[in-house]
Amino acid sequence: MNSKALAITAIKPAVLAAAIATALSGFALPVQAQSAPSPVQLVDALNGVFGSHAGARGSHAKGFCVAGQFEASSGAAAITRANMFQADKRTPLIGRFSIGGGNPKAPDNAKSVRGIALRITDGSERLEWIFVSAPHFFAQTPEQFVNFLKVRAPDPATGKMNPEAIAAFSKANPATTKQGAYLASQPVPASYATVPYWSTNAFVATNADGKAQAIRWRFEPMAGRLGLTDDEAKTKGADFLRSELAERLAKGAITFNVIAQLAQPGDQLNDPTEPWPADRAEINMGRLVINQITDQACDRETFLPTVLPAGLAPSADPVLAARGGAYAVSLGRRTQ
């Protein structure tokens, strides 16, 4: 893979900076914290709640690998000049479906967050997406991420969490309750193929004319949003998702529409707990086609949401910026 593959953009830096500054001049950009927890502290906070499990990720520990392709729509190039978004371009992908949290034996039939991680590359450029099945992340900043987990770490003496401390933290940090409230309001997904996934973080797309546009991503299942009743979820058991997807794939590929939601001036870009209003314009950027479950080779991989092709760039979201270092620490621990 050449050096161009991981470049954020090939536009001259001064030109790109000017375009992004112009496009984002009307957006709310919160002041960043002066200090942030280290990548080690981020992973330690996860391990403090879920424990350390040999060979497992610190988060989204339970999952399996898939493969397929991304098919760009005819209108995607209006938003980004990335080659893989040129009309009707088809690019191979590998990916991983997962259950949130650091427990490799997490139950599939609980109202927990689902995840999807993808790497799309044709050898000359590369895009990695990491999305969850809620429009809210559970922390606004890396500091809040660590504190959210620390207050949930079980007492070493009793092995239990402190509900009073959790309630006090939630009251003082109401943004951290949004993801849990959303998941509680939704049914247990019937399949990895029947639940939407959101980026929660914002990105900046730049087209061939140098026009920059802040976006958030969503994968919308073409099979529709389908859930289970509480009784149905109980009968499915704790490990039904892989076999369910295998049965579904035996009948044909599963597909998602790839949606870019377009920010308007005044929309904040740096708070992944707060979605933009639903009335924002959306563009169908293409289609994900997943056609097989593969071996577990992707468990040795790290998917980084800041690995982007020319024509896409990260926002200044501090949670997005913190992910790369934490994922590297997690990779090091699970491959020791």
Active site residues: 60
Contacts of 284 (CB under 8 A, 6+ apart): 73, 75, 257, 258, 259
Interatomic CA distance for residues 245 and 136, integer angstroms = 25
Interatomic CA distance for residues 273 and 271, integer angstroms = 5
Contacts of 91 (CB under 8 A, 6+ apart): 69, 70, 72, 84, 120, 121, 122
214 forms beta bridges with 204
Contacts of 228 (CB under 8 A, 6+ apart): 109, 187, 188, 189, 190, 236
Residue 163, classified by CB atoms within 10 Å of its CB into exposed (0-12), middle (13-18) or buried (19+), is: exposed
Q: Quick count: other Cβ atoms within 10 Å of Cβ 254?
A: 21
313 forms beta bridges with 204
Contacts of 219 (CB under 8 A, 6+ apart): 116, 131, 196, 197, 198, 256, 257, 258, 259, 288
DSSP structural state of residue 169:
H
Residue 157, classified by CB atoms within 10 Å of its CB into exposed (0-12), middle (13-18) or buried (19+), is: exposed
Chain CA centroid to CA 205, Å:
17
Interatomic CA distance for residues 233 and 111, integer angstroms = 10
